[in-house]
Amino acid sequence: MRPGNRRGLAAAGLWGFAEATVFFTVPDVLLTFLAQTSLRRALLASLFTALAACIGGTMLYALALNRPNAAQALLLAVPGIFPDLITRAGTLLENGLLPGLVEGSLTGVPYKIFAVEAAQTGTPLALFLLASLPARLLRFTLSSLASWLIFAKLLSGVSLWTRRILLAAFWVVFYASYYAGLE
């Protein structure tokens, strides 16, 4: 494996772990940039990201079991997480673990909230992780695939530099809209 590939996979894994614990920007940002030049690389990075997210989720799950108040305080310290979002995650989980994780993943409910909620509702860790991996992988795979289709296929005649600028602009607008909608 080339050094650039190893660095990309390591970065994806670190980002997945960070976002599953305290970071507030989704790893899809990196994955969509990787997909502009290689769908295979982006999909492999998606797997690393999902696995690392599960490790981060396990840490938050353990924190919520042992220090539930600290886990809640940690969630509320993350930009973009409010009590209403925590309540929404709990409601989604009531509809079933895997369906709740998938819907939350696709509608902007941070995974870290689900890890804390699962621990506090008595969901077994093994079951939580069995549902987490496919839910996270689905979202990361869809992001990578969408970026590859749009930027590597539909806009293939546009320079890579321009495609990267367009993707960066997309993420700026995405996060501006996301945070504006939370106020």
2 band by pLDDT with thresholds 50, 70 and 90: low
Which tokens in the block code for residue 98?
A: 């895997």
The helix or strand, by DSSP H or E, that contains position 35, with its residue range, turns out to be: helix 28-35
> Environment class of residue 62 by beta-carbon count within 10 Å: exposed (0-12), middle (13-18) or buried (19+)?
middle
CA angle 73, 76, 96 (to 5 degrees): 100
Query: Which structural domain, as residue segments, surrounds residue 142?
Result: 3-182
- pLDDT recorded at residue 182: 64
Total number of domains in the chain: 1
Q: Is the pTM for the entire model greater than 0.75?
A: yes
Question: Average pLDDT of the chain?
Answer: 94
Per residue in 77-135, pLDDT tens? 999 899 999 999 999 999 999 999 999 999 989 999 999 999 999 999 999 999 999 99
Cα–Cα distance, 57 to 66 (Å, whole number): 14
Cα–Cα distance, 7 to 22 (Å, whole number): 22
- pLDDT recorded at residue 180: 83
In contact, 61 and 116? CB cutoff 8 Å: yes
End-to-end CA distance of the chain: 45
Cα–Cα distance, 92 to 84 (Å, whole number): 12
SS (H, E, C) 82-103: CHHHHHHHHHHHHCCHHHHHHH
Which residues lie closer than 8 Å to 46 by C-beta, 6 or more apart? 12, 31, 137, 140, 141, 143, 144
1 band by pLDDT with thresholds 50, 70 and 90: low
